[in-house]
Structure 1
Amino acid sequence: MRALLAALLATTAFPAFADTITAGSQIISVTVYPQGAKITREVTFESPSAGAHELLITDLPAGTEPGLMQLAAAEGISTGAFSLRSDRLPPRDEALTPDQEAAKATVEAAEAALRAATSVVDAGNARIQAATARAGYLASISGQPPEGATAETLREFAKVIGEETLAAAEEASAARADLWPAQKALEEAQKALADAEASFAALPSRAQDYTVLSVGFESAGAGTRTITLSHYVDAASWRPFYDLRLTRKDGGGLTIDRSVLVSQETGEDWSGVDLTLSSSRPSEQSAPSTLWPWQRWIEKEQPPALERARNMGAAEMDMVIAPALAAEPAPISASAAMEGDTVVYHYPRKVDIADGVEDLRLSLDPLQAEPGIFALAVPSRDQSAFVMAKFTNSSGEPLLPGEALLYREGVLVGSTSLGLIPAGKETEIAFGALDSITLSRDMPQRDSGQTGVFSTSNQLSETAILRIENLGSESWPVKVIDQVPYSEQQDLSVKTTISPQPTVTDVEGQRGIMAWEFDLEAGAKQEISLGYTMSWPDGMVLR
């Protein structure tokens, strides 16, 4: 067995690298999706000679995934196997950008200034302490006059003590006067250092937590070589914001001003990158859901014990009567990043996006639409009509979900959340209340004083008058929505008395919902009489 193993080891080819080269990468472009991003890096290094070598790319973020990584080599080099290392990493040079080098020099100069200011303050404090100590010593001298001392000697001794005490006090006072500007200079030096350190920290920098990509390659010879690396990250996104501007002047129109917020938390700063925004959503479901056969059956009525089993939870029911359905696979989803023919937005200038600390706001080209503008009135719920814009998204690209500010004739009237509006889809957007068109829904009294609702044990009647009044100075196309009950039982009869007749019944397939459409001139009023009677047999209860 050992002989066989030795023979296999002798005849098996393993990659052998002549040299190991360490290099960093430069992010050159980023494609950001509504969730996730594709990052493209360029790695430039020196190949020492022809043959097989190992390249260690030492600055990939810690969360880099190898599954969707792609390598492309320039002329003169071919790449082989590659792997990611997240542990036992080789040391790397902390190379700084020119901006970081300048900021670091500013920090070092501020540190030197702080040390000098601190020395001046320390020297001033030392002078004060020395003068104070001298004055304290002189004050402590006491006792009897020396033997044989004359009056002149005592006068001289007292004079010396006084002069020295005065000199110490003056020196302490001068030191304190010099200390005040020195302390002010120290405070300014401390602030300058803090500002310099903050400026240095704010500059784009490489990730502190990183992983290393090991790439085997063969070079045609010595010289400068380039490898392009693409990989995908999840911690990046962009989301749209809209300013929707509606006007009826000059034929009316809708302008959709678009901007986006781009953010990323990949663990590294993006500095001077070429940015593309894609409306593709590779992180979402990319395949249609699957339907499975739905078996139904009938059986004889069961005793109460089994009847209770029918009322068990869904999971328990699957175990009792439908065990075959429990193993259904989940809907298929995929995370492959394929831009295909989806719409992308390329920003014309290089951008910087710091990791986790900022949202970059960019503008997109505005879109134009020719909407149908009308006033929508729901008298049973509202006291005024609302302005509606109905339009088709003819831009050729989808409008992604996002927040929108609503402007009508240049005035901010509200905000809304837009859902996904695919290209070619017709949609309606409300643009705030139209106070000049007032609404009411009244029930006229009968002769007996009763209101418009009349009920017996097997009959219910209601009569309502809808009033729509235009108090403004311009005509509006109006759409009024109201409802009557409907029945799917033969024994429950519903008869309506409506004047004028609605333009549309069962609006959008909703039974009992009806609409009247008409033009309402300035100062005009429209009334609609809406009545119904429901009848059912004796002994039955209306629900």
Structure 2
Amino acid sequence: MRSLIAALLASTALPACADTIAATSRITAVTVYPDGAKLTREVTFSAPSAGAHELLVTDLPYDSDPGAIRLAPSEGLQVGAFALRADRLPPREDPLTEDQRAAKTAIEAAQGATDQAQLALEAITAKVEAAEAQARFLSSFTGALPDGATPDTIKSMAVMIGTETLAARQAALAAKAELSPARKAVTEAQDALAKAQAAYDSLPSVDMDYTALSVAVNAAEAGEETVTITQYVGNASWQPVYDLNLTREGGDKLVLDRAVLVTQYTGEDWDGVALTLSSSRPAEQAAPSQLWPELRSIGPEETEEDRARKVMGAGDVLYEAAPATVAAPAPTVTAGMGYEGDTVVYHYPEAVTVATGAENLRLALDNLDFAPVVKAVAVPRLDKTAFVMASFTNASAEPLLPGQAMLFREGVLVGQTWLDVIAPGVEIDVGFGAIETLTVKREMPKRAGGETGVFTSANQQSESAVITVENTGTESWPVRILDQVPYSEQDDLEIEVTASPEPSETDVEGQRGILAWEFDLAAGGKQTITLEQVLTWPEGMVLR
């Protein structure tokens, strides 16, 4: 990658500079898009004299795109040509931060303590092994008696062997008593070393593969100068997450708590940056798609003989093929980088740190209050209980962006859902779980003679159903019941539907045959709905 960048930029000549000023940058602000991010870096350096210099910024990520870099100098400084240098880079004195240097010192101290504890353990182990070896040697002694041995000499030798064996075994036992504390000391030192290493690994790092940005600058006078680098990168994203809290006590109320998850895999940590979240999508399509002319033609109707000839193969084709239509070129997808436009932007009020590849940083935004319309909605044909449904309108001036939502009812988690984008003024329905105390039942009573609720003759079918809704709880509910009846688009198929009570709404949301009943059901109350339908068609026809 570096060699490729170097080759591409070899032809980008920089003006001759009086000297080279090496400097590093600091990321001060980040704007994160749903896919990608804009990094703002500040480079502060000291110009030794007025005139031309080469500024060499030595800490840009190795995969930086020169086409996505913009420069802004401080007052009195001019910038000219710039290029990325991927090789022949100057060494950096110390790529570690102050916190990293302190953590590395702690690692070195912990490593030294671990080595000392290990050496102490090995010394004790050596004492044990030496004493045990001496005891084994003495106990296995089978040497011949010396010439002229007397009983006293033999007795002295036996006493000596016994005394020395006892001393060796006692020394081994004493050394073994030291093993347990020594092993514990090694374990504690290793734990301390692991914690020190983990503390180091958790710190924001500047030690990474890098490329250098070479910039021709011209200073009006000697002194401190600043160049601001704006850079667009991929491998970063954010997405909203929501908590929807529905309460009914004291009046129906819906509170939407908003937060965001920020993730980045850019290769460098964002340490203490000003964070902005933008709904702009610079990595996606920025222009409408292109339509291409569609050429259609007609020809003689294909016969069985024609189709047979096609099967025979290209060598046996006896007819002249119709001119082929040239495929239209694929539409070009264009994308713009860095546009802001009329998009929703969130400025986080505090500096944040986002480590690369290490976490999904969750940041709280704010909350919105809505006045929902809450109903208990049931579909008795498919379900045995009613469900809480809250309808609310986005009365804010901004769209609610798509994201995962956790659903709470009276403070209790009841489920989760995905919210699509909700534009200002748009109404949405969200379900908040089942109401166990509101049961529904749909029965098809038997007719005289034992037939079930569906009766079919040669050209007529009739069906009857009884829907029962019962509230066994202590809270009254506005209830909405949904059911369906067939519909016909043929004059010869007649459908007659009778319901008691009459439905409050027919063809719900434009869906033909969907019926709805709405009523209030008090605690301990019960409501019954009867529904009948008769389908009639001419003889000789079959119902499908």
TM-score of the two chains, using structure 2 as the length reference: 0.84
SS in 1 for 2:67: coil
The equivalent residue for 1:101 is 101
Letter in 1 for 2:453: G
Residue pair 1:63, 1:266 contacting (<8 A) in 2 also = no
- With 124-133 and 13-22 compared, the bigger mean Cα shift is at 124-133
SS in 2 for 1:323: coil
- With 76-85 and 261-270 compared, the bigger mean Cα shift is at 76-85
Return the alpha-carbon distance in structure 1 between the equivalents of residues 128 and 473 of structure 2: 84
SS in 1 for 2:66: coil
Return the alpha-carbon distance in structure 2 between the equivalents of residues 322 and 537 of structure 1: 50
Check if 1:323 corresponds to 2:325.
yes
Distance change (3 Å), C-alpha of 1:474 and 1:109 = closer
**1:109 Cα deviation after fit:** 1.5
Return the alpha-carbon distance in structure 2 between the equivalents of residues 280 and 255 of structure 1: 26
The equivalent residue for 2:344 is 343
The equivalent residue for 1:375 is 376
The equivalent residue for 2:205 is 205
CA deviation digits over 1:183-229, x for unaligned, max 9? 43333323322222222122111252323322222222332222111
Distance change (3 Å), C-alpha of 1:402 and 1:20 = same
The equivalent residue for 1:256 is 256
Q: Identify unmatched segments of 5+ residues in structure 1.
A: 1-11, 310-318
Return the alpha-carbon distance in structure 1 between the equivalents of residues 13 and 360 of structure 2: 51
Residue pair 1:257, 1:366 contacting (<8 A) in 2 also = yes
What does residue range 329-408 of structure 1 map to in structure 2 within 5 Å? 329-330=330-331, 332-408=333-409
The equivalent residue for 1:411 is 412
The equivalent residue for 1:279 is 279
Letter in 1 for 2:23: A
The equivalent residue for 1:316 is none
CA deviation digits over 1:282-304, x for unaligned, max 9? 33333344445566677664424
Return the alpha-carbon distance in structure 1 between the equivalents of residues 79 and 322 of structure 2: 58
The equivalent residue for 1:227 is 227
Return the alpha-carbon distance in structure 2 between the equivalents of residues 181 and 252 of structure 1: 66
Check if 1:435 corresponds to 2:425.
no
SS in 1 for 2:416: strand
CA deviation digits over 1:160-201, x for unaligned, max 9? 777766666665555555555444333332332222222212
Return the alpha-carbon distance in structure 2 between the equivalents of residues 132 and 451 of structure 1: 94
**1:93 Cα deviation after fit:** 2.9
Residue pair 1:207, 1:269 contacting (<8 A) in 2 also = no
Distance change (3 Å), C-alpha of 1:219 and 1:107 = same
Return the alpha-carbon distance in structure 1 between the equivalents of residues 184 and 390 of structure 2: 64
Distance change (3 Å), C-alpha of 1:182 and 1:306 = same
The equivalent residue for 1:477 is 478
Letter in 2 for 1:531: E
Letter in 2 for 1:530: L
**1:29 Cα deviation after fit:** 1.5
Residue pair 2:14, 2:82 contacting (<8 A) in 1 also = no
CA deviation digits over 1:402-461, x for unaligned, max 9? 222222222222222222222221100011112333222233333343233232343333
Return the alpha-carbon distance in structure 2 between the equivalents of residues 201 and 418 of structure 1: 37
Residue pair 2:96, 2:207 contacting (<8 A) in 1 also = no
SS in 1 for 2:201: helix
Check if 1:420 corresponds to 2:435.
no
Distance change (3 Å), C-alpha of 1:516 and 1:295 = farther
**1:135 Cα deviation after fit:** 6.5
**1:253 Cα deviation after fit:** 0.9
The equivalent residue for 2:115 is 115
SS in 1 for 2:104: helix
The equivalent residue for 1:4 is none
The equivalent residue for 1:5 is none
- Aligned-residue CA RMSD (Å): 3.4
